[in-house]
Amino acid sequence: VQGLKMKWLGLISLLLVVLVSSAPTDDEVVLPLAEPCDLEACQLPDCRCSTTDIPGGLAARDTPQFVVMTFDGPVDEYSLQDFNKYLGGRTNMNGCPVGATFYINHGSTNYEVVNQMYNQGFEIGLKSISHNPNHEYWAEGTVEEMRKEFGDQRITMSHFANIPIEDIKGIRIPYLQMAGNATFQVMSESGLTYDASWPSTTDLNPALWPYTLDYASTQDCPNPPCPTASFPGKWVLPLASWEDPEGNPCHLADSCPSPPDLYNSNAWFEYMVSNFERHYTSNRAPFGMHFREWFLSAFPGPQMALPRFLNLLNSLPDVFMVNAGEVIDWIKNPVPINEYSSKPCRAQAAECPVNSCGPLKADHTYEQFWLQACNECPNVFPWLGNPLGK
């Protein structure tokens, strides 16, 4: 009898091992498809269908024209000097400093500079820890991989730049390569608010306004896989493509197949104005200006045209250069231009007790690293799975 009991216990143990090992993980669970948007059920401030309609039913003439200027990549003291050439000292017509959003990858980033950018009123977003050059890595990324890239990076960014974690709200996936549901699952669990990776090449005139993923999106998907499940309260900021002089769509302002002459500032100014007018004269969906910092440093055409174009924008009483997160704040509570113009200017500040850390060993490579931080130095260079470098 004892032997029979032992056999049964052995079989039960084996069965439990099989069941546990075959249980689906977060990455293997197939999420149900989101339903088509229910206009009556999906209401602001927490839900919005993917549509070109102006929030709050405002007329275009009463709607602020938001301009969202974004930059991608690591930042250092030289980057800050370049950014301030274009943005430093600028104000909108309501007297508030202009905004911009920086999607920063970890690598060679100087976190003291990140702190300075935050204190200037700019928004800090995430662009991953590894910035893996393999597009398939992002397209096929698991929830766990995306958790380490973005959920952990939020911890790294907040700690070493010494900025409030709740002010880090948005992500941009490297190469604008969508990762299906994975990144939105991570956003849902880690407190992130919006994605700014999803290009749009068909909804351009008029363009889509930002929307939530409570319901299925109607946005085109040029860089699949795009999300298919429901993620209540998680926002998409569509990257409405620019059109180059030949009519080709381009996701970033500096990535067109047939760009204006890179040495002709007048051609670049006209290119910027024509793309802006497509938003300004239609439904006033936010106008995105998405650049990579190295591009502006490399070519005199866009380099000289950009200040001239920004001067034009800053002279218009109904145009506001803002951080990406501020657009979502307005959509949740849409108010007309006269009311928006009188709201208080944003104010944010964070101290930076500077530490120069290094050389630091790393778990992922034989290289050693230096880290400029606004917090105590880590034991090793922070990386995937070890966001604080413990």
Whichever domain contains 79, its CATH number is 3.20.20.370
Strand runs labelled E in the chain: 65-72, 101-104, 123-126, 170-171, 194-195, 199-200, 211-213, 231-236, 239-240, 242-243, 249-250, 287-292, 319-321, 355-361, 368-373
In a domain, 46, yes or no: no
Query: What is the pLDDT tens value at each position of the chain, 390 positions in all?
Result: 545 444 454 444 443 433 333 444 555 578 999 999 999 999 999 999 999 999 999 999 999 999 999 999 999 998 889 899 999 999 999 999 999 999 999 999 999 999 999 999 999 999 999 999 999 999 999 999 999 999 999 999 999 999 999 999 999 999 999 999 999 999 999 999 999 999 999 989 999 999 999 999 999 999 999 999 999 999 999 999 999 999 999 998 888 899 999 999 999 999 999 999 999 999 999 999 998 878 888 999 999 999 999 999 999 999 999 999 999 999 999 999 999 999 999 999 999 999 999 999 999 999 999 999 999 999 999 999 999 999
Half-sphere exposure of 110 (CA within 13 A, CB side): 12
Q: For the whole model, what pTM was predicted?
A: 0.92
Instruction: Judge whether 318 and 279 are in contact, CB under 8 Å.
Output: no
> Could you tell me which of 99, 90, 165, 174 has the C-alpha nearest to residue 139?
174
CA 204, distance to chain mean position in Å, is: 20
* Residue 25, pLDDT score: 53
The SS3 call for residue 146 is: helix
Task: Identify whether 381 is part of a domain.
Answer: no
Confirm whether 131 is domain-assigned. yes
Residue 182 falls inside a structural domain: yes
Interatomic CA distance for residues 70 and 322, integer angstroms: 10
Which residue segment(s) compose the domain that 70 sits in? 55-341
Predicted local confidence at residue 6, as pLDDT: 45
Number of domains in the chain: 1
Residue 151 lies in a domain: yes
The pLDDT value given to residue 60: 98
| pLDDT of res. 28 | 55
Q: What is the pLDDT of residue 30?
A: 83
Which H/E stretch holds residue 138? helix 135-139
Residue 19 pLDDT: 39
Extract the tokens encoding 380: 């090793």
> Would residue 4 count as lying in a domain?
no
| pLDDT at residue number 254 | 87
The pLDDT assigned to 29 comes to: 74
Per the domain annotation, does 62 fall within a domain? yes
Give the burial class of 172: count Cβ atoms within 10 A of its Cβ; 0-12 exposed, 13-18 middle, 19 or more buried: buried
Distance of alpha carbon 380 from alpha carbon 359, whole angstroms: 9
State residue 160's pLDDT score: 99
The predicted pLDDT at position 26 comes to 54
Structure tokens at 361: 């060993």
> 100 near 321, Cβ under 8 Å?
yes
Q: Is residue 263 part of a domain?
A: yes
Distances in Å between the alpha carbon of 228 and those of 35, 40, 184, 358? Answer: 9, 21, 10, 44
